[in-house]
Amino acid sequence: MGIKHFLFNSTLCLHRWMAKKVNADLHMTIPRGKTIVSHRMDYDAVSPPCLERYNGLPFLDMGCTYDYVRYRALELMKEQIENLPGSVAELGVFEGNFAQMINYLFPKKTLFLYDTFQGFDERDCSLEQEQQFSKEALSGDLKPLASDPIEAIRERCPYSENLVFRKGYFPETAAPDKNETFSFVSLDADLYKPTHAGLEFFYPRMQEGGVIFVHDYSSGMWKGVKEAIQDAEKIFGPFKKVPLPDCCGTLVIVK
Ligand SMILES: C[S@@+](CC[C@H](N)C(=O)[O-])C[C@H]1O[C@@H](n2cnc3c(N)ncnc32)[C@H](O)[C@@H]1O
């Protein structure tokens, strides 16, 4: 066995071992002698480093373990943007998994949380069906389980005094925040209309160097998200885009 062959086999074994450790699927294709290795974290995977890191903190296991790459990306991003002025925000909060992490990482920042807290709105779903973006999106889907979702989110957030809840239909609920600026925004509303409205509202209000995470950009499940970004670029010009290899294909936009 030549040295190249030996090194290749050892690397392959190492990758397989690592993939097993983090419960990831490992895909290898070897087109024309080149090796491409990509990992996809399993939805049910429990990533050991992540569990260690957040053990003892009031985090739901699911929130930071099922999508280690997205949570870790936000954690690393914190170092880059925490000294920028401006608030932080999330559009599409649901039960507050990611909001909890934003609140934990930016303890001195006001966190604006926009959601109907009653699931998708009919005004957004009809376009999804017409344009075949996501036929399965129905009004009322993703209604949080808790009888008082806002209180439940307050309870799980470590700096709940920083939370500002905007309950109702976005973009209507953003009207009081026209004079705000932002250093970090998470857009996670799944559908074309709120995603587009989110970019229209937040992008001009982002600090220079500020960052927007757009969930589901590359997931293929919510096709309207990518369309919304392309349409927003017709208004604002090309965004600086960095796609992440996380569970649902987050896109990072840097202002
Ligand atoms: C995928 S969930 C968000 C998940 C959340 N970021 C998390 O960490 O678990 C999508 C959310 O977007 C909200 N949403 C969708 N369209 C909206 C709109 N036009 N206005 C307000 N909220 C909306 C839904 O109510 C739902 O809670």
Per-residue pLDDT tens digits for 232-253: 999 999 999 999 998 899 999 9
Start-to-end C-alpha separation, the chain: 51
Find the 9 Cα to ligand 1 centroid distance in Å: 45
Find the 239 Cα to ligand 1 centroid distance in Å: 23
Residue 96 half-sphere exposure toward CB, CA atoms < 13 A:
27
**Separation between Cα atoms, residue 79 and residue 75, nearest integer Å:** 8
Nearest CA to ligand 1 atom 22: 115
| Least confidently predicted of 58-72, 124-138, 179-193 | 58-72
Find the 111 Cα to ligand 1 centroid distance in Å: 16
Q: What is this structure's pTM?
A: 0.81
Q: Residue 235: its pLDDT value, please? A: 98
**Separation between Cα atoms, residue 10 and residue 225, nearest integer Å:** 40
Which superfamily is assigned to 66-254 in CATH? Vaccinia Virus protein VP39 (3.40.50.150)
Q: Residue 135: its pLDDT value, please? A: 76
| Averaged pLDDT for residues 137-154 | 91
Q: Per-domain residue ranges for the chain?
A: 66-254
Q: What is the pLDDT of residues 195-212, one digit of tens each?
A: 999 999 999 999 999 999
Contact by Cβ (8 Å): 207, 84:
yes
